[in-house]
Amino acid sequence: MIFDLGQSGGKVTIGYYNGKKIRLENLYKFDNDDVFAGGFLQWDILKLFGEVLTGIGKALSVNKDIQSLGIDSWGSDYSFIDKRGYLLGNPITNRDNRVKDTLNSFYKILSKKELFNLTGVQLSSSSSSSLMQLYSLIYLKSKIFSVAEKYLMIPDIINFFLTGYPVCEYTLMSFTQLVDQRKKEIIDYILNKYSIPKRVFPKMNFSGNILGNLKYDLSKMYGGRKIKVTTVAEHDTASAFTTIPFKERGKNCASIILGSWCVLGIEVNEPILTDEAFINGFANQGGVEGVIHFRKDFPGFIIADELRKSILNERCLDLSWDNIFMLVEKASPFEFFIDICDPIFSAPGKDMKSVFLNYFKESDQGLPENEQQIFRCIFEGMIFSFRSAMDVLQKIIGKKIDLIYIIGGGSRNKIINQWTANILKIPVWAEIQEATSIGNMLVQMKALKDLESVINERHIVNESFKFLEFYPENITEYEEAYNKYLSVIKRKEKACIKKL
């Protein structure tokens, strides 16, 4: 059983393996909504646990021979249990604004560069750092550490409810800004600097292990079934990267996870901590079997979705994703340019259409005739960001990337896939939409001894799923457009400096 929990919803999947190939059967989906209560934006973790129990029941009704389950989720968010195992409140979401007053003092203790050198991590949003959230408790003089026994992240809370064993899984912990990815242990120096007690952190558990069986009372609910609870690569991004055969076919490969947020990355054996990596916004995250994912994050479809909502607030239109891309194909290419990483496009509560019009005006681009031109420039902005990051990545590693895998929910979008091949000038292999679930399953297979090594046996993915192949076209046109994009971004930067 595969449980993939996201910030907007979760899904339950059954995975099958016949000794040669794997296949997935999607079984059940459910919503996950944050709740504003008591002055904080919180996750309803008991609802999530209830959905997991429902998912187990549904899966067993389909196949009574299920052996194991594994849970992955987004990173950063957590709660505590006390000595009796009582949960000390819902996890506060990383979108809550409780950390905003702590930023100045936080970086006076350790700078962004010092934290990067120690942990290999820098994040697109400070609120998504578990370290920042923990420090906010100290800063606000919370009393929770006086009663907290163990710190647990989202999948680990649910695993604790299922088995009674409190542990923290490494791929999740590696992105908290608490862990030395070279030694694979929590850094006492950081804890001491921020006055965070080390005693609250349970034993670090690594993916590919059996945590335990369902507790007796839960097992009875399912007819006494002794289902094994495994620790998978519990960070959803790490789980997705697990599927990519980076070292197959004698090529230097990279991958793009395409979704609401995008991640471009490669697999390395040691974290890359150079000044160039830091300046250009790259980060390191622990993966399975000791590998490191060297990556850069970008806003993705989330910007187009915010624009879609902004337009729907004005008037009723058919703005399904299929219809949006029909409009995008009809729009003239390379008319308008944006830097999708500009914080203005990620600011919550803004009228996104007005944000775009102001951006075009400030960068002296004129105004679009219709909204389809704005949608098109968003997706073109995504591929230009991929190109910019790829140029830097190749410089950092001193190697040329020969092949890109595009995975994740957005990988079925043939337009973005082809544009990416064009701008990067290398082949793209795409359409593994369920990459996170596949990675989750592979690690469960290792825990059950069906695989000796996930890293060495990822050829199963190639044998089980068909990649669609896209090859570069219209390279000169895309190169000219990219240079035009760079000039617009520079013009916008100068306009911002003038305003200051």
The token pair at 125 is 């949003």
Tell me if residue 348 falls in helix, strand or coil: coil
Per-residue confidence (pLDDT) for residue 235, from 0 to 100: 96
DSSP state of 152: E
Q: Decide if pLDDT at 139 tops 80.
A: yes
How many whole angstroms separate alpha carbon 140 and alpha carbon 263?
A: 33
Tell me what pLDDT residue 182 has.
95
Give the model's pLDDT for residue 495.
63
What pLDDT score does 418 carry? 97
CB 76 within 8 A of CB 129: yes
**What tens digit of pLDDT does each residue of 424-473 get?**
999 999 988 899 999 999 999 999 999 999 988 888 998 999 889 999 99
Please check whether residue 249 is in contact with residue 255, taking contact to mean a CB–CB distance below 8 angstroms: no
Domain 237-433+467-500 is in which class?
A: alpha beta
Total length of the chain: 500
Tell me which amino acid residue 338 is: I
Kind plus residue range of the DSSP H or E element containing 10: strand 9-17
Distances (CA, A) of 76 to 151, 162, 207, 230: 12, 21, 17, 20
- Note the pLDDT of residue 391: 97
CA dihedral 338, 342, 348, 350 (to 10 degrees): -40
Residue 497 pLDDT > 60: no
Within 10 angstroms of residue 407's Cβ, the number of other Cβ atoms is 28
Q: Which residue has the higher pLDDT, 308 or 398?
A: 398
Mean pLDDT of 388-399: 96
Q: Residue 95: what pLDDT?
A: 79
**Mean pLDDT along residues 116-122:** 95
Structure tokens at 439: 């990675």
Structure confidence by residue, pLDDT tens digits, 311-365: 877 766 668 888 899 989 999 999 999 999 998 887 656 788 889 999 999 899 9
We find that the CATH architecture of domain 2-234 is 2-Layer Sandwich (3.30)
Instruction: Find the mean pLDDT for residues 116-142.
Output: 86
Band of residue 369 on the pLDDT scale cut at 50, 70, 90: confident
Find tokens 């992105």 and name the residue. 175
Note the pLDDT of residue 152. 98
Alpha-carbon distances of 413 from 1, 157, 319, rounded to whole Å = 27, 35, 16
CA proximity to 89, closest of 31, 29, 30, 133 = 133
- Higher-pLDDT residue of 310 and 274 is 274
Percent of the chain with pLDDT over 90: 74
Q: Which residues pair with 204 in a beta bridge?
A: 168
- Give the pLDDT score at 124: 64
Burial class (CB in 10 A: 0-12, 13-18, 19+), 24: middle
What does the alpha-carbon distance between residue 427 and residue 494 come to, in Å, rounded to a whole number? 35
CB atoms within 10 A of CB 52: 23
pLDDT value for 222: 92
Closest CA to 382 of 342, 352, 348, 409: 342
Q: 2-234 and 237-433+467-500: same fold? A: yes
Q: Where are the domains of the chain?
A: 2-234, 237-433+467-500
187, 190, 171, 188: which is closest to 179 by C-alpha?
187
Q: In the prediction, which pLDDT does 197 show?
A: 96
pLDDT value at 137 more than 80: yes
**Predicted local confidence at residue 499, as pLDDT:** 58
pLDDT value at 46 more than 90: yes
pLDDT in tens, 203-215: 999 999 999 999 9
Give me the chain's average pLDDT, please: 92
Which of these ranges, 3-7, 93-97, 141-145, 280-284, has the smallest mean pLDDT?
93-97
**Sign of the C-alpha dihedral computed for residues 423, 425, 431 and 433 taken in this order:** negative
- What pLDDT, on a 0 to 100 scale, did the predictor assign at position 195? 96
Encode pLDDT of 245-282 as tens digits: 877 666 899 999 998 889 999 999 999 999 999 999 99
